[in-house]
Amino acid sequence: MLVAKQKSYYVGHRRRAREKLLKFGADSLRDYEIVELMLFLIFKRKDVKPLAKRLIERFKTVDKILSAPLSELIKVEGIGNTSAEAIKIINGIFVSAVKSRLIKKKHINCFEDVIHYCKVNMKNLVAEELRVIFLNSVGEIIADEVMQRGDINAVKIYPRMIARRCLELGANGIILIHNHPSGDPTPSREDVFTTKEISKALSIFEMSLQDHIIIGGDRFISFKTLELL
C-alpha cells in the first residue's frame, strides 16, 4: 500500500510539473523544479525532487549543473556514471542549439549573440580556454574553434597559428574569446600585449581582429568597447 501511494505521488507530481512548464513557461519554475524536469528524462520511475535539491545545493545554478565535469557530478548522492553522462548529453544539446542560433545570424552582434553563446560555453570552465570565431567578409561565421586550452591561470596564444588557420579557412576576420576562471574579466598586461600581436599578424594578410572578449563568470569585457584595439 505504501508503494502504491508513493508511485501515485511522483506520477502526479511529474504531470503537474510538466503542465506548469508548458502552460506558464520556465520562468514560472524554481531552479530545482527545472532540474527535476531534466531528471524526469533520466529516471523514469523515481521521486527525483530530493536529488534535484542536492544538485542545486552543490552547484547553485542550473547552468553550473549542466556544465559541471563528470567527476564532480558523480560526487552527488544518487548520480552515477550513466546519469552524469545523460546530464552532459543534455548540456551538449543545449549548447548546440545556442550555437545554431548564432550561426544562422547574417551579421554578428558581439554583445547580444557572441556573449550569450560564449557564456554558455565558457563561464563555468575551471581552466582557461581560447576560442576563435572566424568570419567572412560580410560578418558571417565560417567556423568556431577552440584553438588552445591552458591551466587555471593562463593559456598560451600563438599569433602565427591563428593567422595560419584564418588563411586555411579563407577568413577575413576573427573574434577572440577566452575566459578567466577567477571570475574577473579584467585583461592582464599579457592579454593586452598578445592581442596587439595577433592584430599585427592578421593585418599582414589584410585580415582583422574585430574584438577580443574575456568571459569571467557572468561578467565580460570587450577590447573593442575599451578601445584596446
Share of the chain above pLDDT 90, in %: 18
- Contact of 28 with 21, CB cutoff 8 Å: yes
Tell me, yes or no, whether 118 and 191 share the same domain.
yes
pLDDT at 144 over 60: yes
Tell me, yes or no, whether 113 and 217 share the same domain.
yes
> For residues 125-148, b (16+ Cβ closer than 10 Å) or e, as one string?
beebbbbbbbbeeeeebbebeebb
Give residue-wise pLDDT tens across range 149-171: 775 555 677 788 898 899 999 99
Give residue-wise pLDDT tens across range 63-92: 888 888 888 899 999 999 999 999 988 888
- The residues near 154 (Cβ < 8 Å, ≥ 6 apart) are 128, 190
CA separation (Å) from 25 to 8, 65, 185?
25, 20, 32
What integer is the mean pLDDT of 185-195? 89
Tell me, yes or no, whether 114 and 206 share the same domain.
yes
pLDDT band at 174 (very low <50, low <70, confident <90, very high): very high
- Contact of 128 with 103, CB cutoff 8 Å: no
pLDDT at 17 over 80: no
Domain enclosing residue 41, as ranges: 2-96
Give residue-wise pLDDT tens across range 47-66: 888 899 999 999 888 888 88
Q: Write down the mean pLDDT value for the chain.
A: 81
Tell me, yes or no, whether 21 and 120 share the same domain.
no
Tell me, yes or no, whether 76 and 6 share the same domain.
yes
Q: Which cell numbers hold the place of 18?
A: 510538466
Asked if the structure places residue 158 within a domain, the reply is yes
